[in-house]
């Protein structure tokens, strides 16, 4: 588990360095483009090629970092990809359901007499009625 933490820290440092070098290259390209007498297009092309290479390295580092991201939860450390994370924080104990906690109804449910009613109630307990425009 420690090697994962070390690997994550290494990838984070690598990503930080790549991001700063990409930012520096972008600033150099902008400075070259702002010059009124741009005579050397080779410098700009070289900067752009270097920028593309560093950007590809940055994307690769991001994908590697995404694959091994670890989360600390109440029950332990979980390693998950970022795309499969859920932003909910649920307590694991509340998710466990025991069947003995469910009260049993006396008798067979198929033979119990259930009074049928024609009224429909909503989830809030109010009586549902059809809209007035559909009444005969």
| Per-residue pLDDT tens digits for 12-71 | 888 888 888 888 888 888 887 787 666 667 777 888 888 888 888 888 887 776 666 666
Compute the C-alpha angle 89/95/96, nearest 5°: 150
Please give the model's pTM, rounded to 2 decimal places: 0.43
Name the average pLDDT for the chain: 71
Q: How far apart are CA 66 and CA 78, in angstroms?
A: 13
Residue 3 — very low, low, confident or very high, per pLDDT cuts 50/70/90? low
d(C-alpha 89, C-alpha 78), whole Å: 13
Per DSSP, helices labelled H in 79-120 are: 92-95
Give the integer Cα–Cα distance in Å for 109 and 75.
39
DSSP-derived pairing of the beta strands 120-121 and 127-128: antiparallel
């Amino acid at each position: 588990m420690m090697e994962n933490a070390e690997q994550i820290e290494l990838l984070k440092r690598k990503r930080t360095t790549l991001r700063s070098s990409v930012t520096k290259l972008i600033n150099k390209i902008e400075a070259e483009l702002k010059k009124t007498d741009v005579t050397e297009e080779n410098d700009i092309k070289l900067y752009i090629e270097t920028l593309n290479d560093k950007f590809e390295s940055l994307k690769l580092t991001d994908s590697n970092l995404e694959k091994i991201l670890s989360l600390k939860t109440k029950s332990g450390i979980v390693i998950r990809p970022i795309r499969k994370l859920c932003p909910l924080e649920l307590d694991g104990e509340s998710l466990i359901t025991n069947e003995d906690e469910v009260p049993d109804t006396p008798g067979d449910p198929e033979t119990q007499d259930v009074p049928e009613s024609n009224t429909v109630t909503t989830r809030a307990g109010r009586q549902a009625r059809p809209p007035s425009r559909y009444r005969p």
